[in-house]
Structure 1
Amino acid sequence: MKWQAPRFWWRQRSSLPALALAPVAALWSAVAGRRMRRAPSARASVPVICVGNFVVGGAGKTPTALALARICMGLGLAPGFLTRGYGGSAREPLMVDRKLHDAARVGDEALLLAEAGPVVVSPDRPAGLPLLQRAGVDIIIMDDGFQNPALAKDLALLVVDGATGIGNGWVMPSGPLRAPLRTQLARADALVIVGPGEPGDRMLRRGARAGRPVLRARLMPALQRDWGTEPYLAFAGIGRPEKFFNSLDRAGAPIGDVKAFPDHYVYTAEDARMLLGRAETEGLRLITTAKDFARLSRAEGEVARLRQWTEVFEVRMVFENEELLASLITAVMRRASPR
């Protein structure tokens, strides 16, 4: 069973568990802050855009990275991706091949990113740079890794979920922050607020006070479709499954029931039999996220059958002011040339 973030992290007021863990959080805060303040140990030969977030858990980094790649290509650039490969077993730098690799090897995010360009998985991010250089990329989009000082960032975009913001505002383990907010905000170049919500509005105001550009974005269905009337059993193992379920509902999908799994969940034959059995006996269609579907790839037996009978709800990140983001990228390229 994968670890799940505690519920008290997302309450706006301090709770007893948060207060009880405050001494540990103070230690974590000091260590994480000191680490972030270290000078980078490596710099790429091309600009690096880092897509990170302030907190533990999903905020929309991967859809943002994919949208960035699309914008970069529209500017005539050849982007490539660098990722740690969370959830995968690869320990050495590896160029992702969707025909050879599965989520167990490279992680689900890497498989999604590989649809848009070259992807290198490398737990030691600087060690993955030569592979991207050989691939001929002229800009690198790094999925996560904002708090890691190993590689210099030319543009750091911090993605914030509008519905949850930074939770209770405490550093781990009292709250979801990966490092002190002030330290992170000082190293962010721009914020991306995804979706509506007062927590996101508060972060927008904080970003504006810190003099950081703030972009609004939302996740939209990639395709318009006729959902029909037969209800769905929606399942997901992502950071916030309720976001997926709510998105399906807003898109007009008839939802019969939902089933949430922990983030980056690896589906078993027992899970597959349960989901398929419910679909058959209750007259439900199965639907999941692109990330979950990636984790079902190259599966065998019951899990392969689950993939066969499951639909995918594809989404894309849409920015309210894409021109501002394009101008930030252009400015980065201008500053970096020649390097």
Structure 2
Amino acid sequence: MRPPAFWHAGPGHPVARALAPLAALYGWRSAARMDRRGTPGPCPIVCIGNFTLGGAGKTPTALAVAGLLRDLGASPAFLTRGYGGRLAGPVRVDPDRHAAVDTGDEPLLLARFAPTIVARDRLAGAPHCIEAGADVIVMDDGLQSPALAKALSFAVVDAGVGVGNGRVFPAGPLRVPLARQWRHIHGLVLIGAGAPGETVAEDAAHRGLPVHRARLVPEGDWAGRRVLAFAGIGRPDKMFATLREAGADVVATRAFADHHPYGRAELGALAAEAERLGADLVTTRKDHVRLPPEFATRVTVLPVTLAFVDAGAVAAQLADILPRP
């Protein structure tokens, strides 16, 4: 879905106010569900979630956290519901055998780094992580799910948008009233810069929670490269801005809804436009795995990694939940 504009137009927007009664009911039910006691997992579970619907940078954060866990001597595995995929699981993701239509796009990226289990039933999926050799589970999304008890939960926030108008769905982007979510959080991961995110960071600091600042770092030499950028992620503008900051000459952009299933006709139109503009087609890793193989070879990926400003502070929190040798 594309987030409606009024989600970021302030809490007093007429549509947001009109939807407030429905949002109150949704928020009450979702908060009650989030407050349920989770079942202990077979090993420590680190949850990488977000307060709102849509993307905030959870997957690159999960990859960065798994990298820190490895540096600490742990063996992480990823557990995810596989949004957009047809497989209910539990199933271990094989990037050479599975496609995005099977598992969703994010699991294919995660599986190239560590064992990844897709399971709509996270409780059923956790033992499969152990079978894959894990001694710690990194759960991509699931902050609001009570299925498994988390040893550590990080909320990821895109500083450019924060929590939008601060209202609960459908009046705003929040999954659960923000005041009810803080009690389940052990740290905030703030990606990028922006006043909306700083407001959330101030709230976290006031509550005594660590704020881990991070940024997305593009790989490769993009200086002067003429590109047509397209993306179907939570906030495509973030990808376009990253390219510009890397020095690319972004001559055109095309934004699609998160997890957009690309059709051959629209891909053909993109290719024709890029040829007319004398530009290279560029997209994200997450989009690239959703492209048909015959088209994927014609598109360049913008690889990005998440870098923490103070990785040591994140590692210290992670070390606290790992079993002592």
TM tier, smaller: over 0.9
The structural deviation recorded for 1:13 is 4.1
Counterpart among 236, 241, 252 of residue 241 in structure 1: 236
What is the aligned partner in structure 2 of residue 225 from structure 1?
Answer: 221
Matches within 5 A, 1:12-91: 12-40=10-38, 42-91=39-88
Taking the aligned partners of 1:178 and 1:226, their CA distance within structure 2 comes to 37
CA distance in structure 2 between the partners assigned to 1:187 and 1:283 by the alignment: 50
On the 8 A contact 2:122/2:148 being kept in 1, the answer is yes
CA displacement at 1:295 relative to structure 2: 1.0
Gaps of 5+ in 2: none
After TM superposition, give the deviation of residue 276 of structure 1 in Å.
1.2
2:315 aligned residue: 326
Report the number of matched residues: 325
CA contact (8 A) 2:212 2:310 kept: yes
> Quick one: which amino acid aligns to residue 314 of structure 1?
P
How far the C-alpha of 1:209 sits from its partner, in A, is 1.1
- The match for 2:255 among 254, 260, 282 is 260
Aligned to 2:288: 293
Asked if structure 2 preserves the Cα contact closer than 8 Å seen for 1:216 and 1:319, the reply is yes
Q: Percent identity?
A: 44
CA distance in 1, matches of 2:222, 2:258: 29
Which one of 143, 164, 167 corresponds to residue 140 of structure 2?
A: 143
Describe the superposition over 1:31-64 as per-residue Cα deviations: whole angstroms up to 9, x where unpaired.
Answer: 0111111111x22121000000000111100000
Of 204, 209, 212 in structure 2, the residue corresponding to residue 212 of structure 1 is: 209
Q: How does 1:139-178 map to 2 (within 5 A)?
A: 139-178=136-175
Find the aligned partners of 1:99 and 1:147 in 2 and give their Cα distance.
31
What is the rounded CA distance, in whole Å, between the counterparts of 1:276 and 1:305 in structure 2? 12
Task: Classify the secondary structure of the residue corresponding to 2:322.
Answer: helix
Question: Aligned residue for 1:271?
Answer: 266
Q: Gapped runs of 5+ residues in structure 1?
A: none
Please state whether the residue corresponding to 1:295 is helix, strand or coil: coil
Give the partner amino acid of 1:251.
Answer: A
CA RMSD of aligned residues (A): 1.2
Assess, with a 3 A threshold, how the Cα gap between structure 1 residues 86 and 24 changes in structure 2: closer, same or farther: same
Give the superposition deviation at 1:165.
Answer: 0.5
Q: TM-score, normalised by structure 2?
A: 0.97
Partners of 2:275 and 2:250 in 1: CA distance: 15
**1:124-166 superposed Cα distances (whole Å, 9 cap, x missing partner):** 1011122111111011000000001011100000001111111
Give 1:211 deviation, angstroms. 1.3
CA contact (8 A) 2:222 2:246 kept: no
Tell me if structure 2 keeps the 8 A contact 1:192–1:215: yes
Shift of 1:14: 1.7
Do 1:276 and 1:306's aligned partners in 2 also have CA atoms closer than 8 Å? no
2:91 aligned partner, one-letter code: L
Return the offset for 1:305: 3.3
Which deviations, in whole Å up to 9, do the C-alpha atoms of 1:274-327 show, x marking residues without a partner?
Answer: 11111222212100000000112xx3xxxx332111000000111111101000
Which residue number in structure 2 is paired with residue 306 of structure 1?
Answer: 295
Q: What residue identity is the alignment partner of 1:273?
A: G
**2:129 partner SS:** helix
Q: What is the alpha-carbon distance in structure 2 between the residues aligned to residue 212 and residue 103 of structure 1? A: 36
Give 3-state SS (helix, strand or coil) of 2:204's partner.
helix
Separation (CA, whole Å) in 2 of partners of 1:308 and 1:247: 22
> Does 2:80 match 1:110?
no
CA distance in structure 2 between the partners assigned to 1:142 and 1:93 by the alignment: 14
Please give the alpha-carbon distance, in whole angstroms, between the structure 1 residues aligned to 2:190 and 2:86. Answer: 32
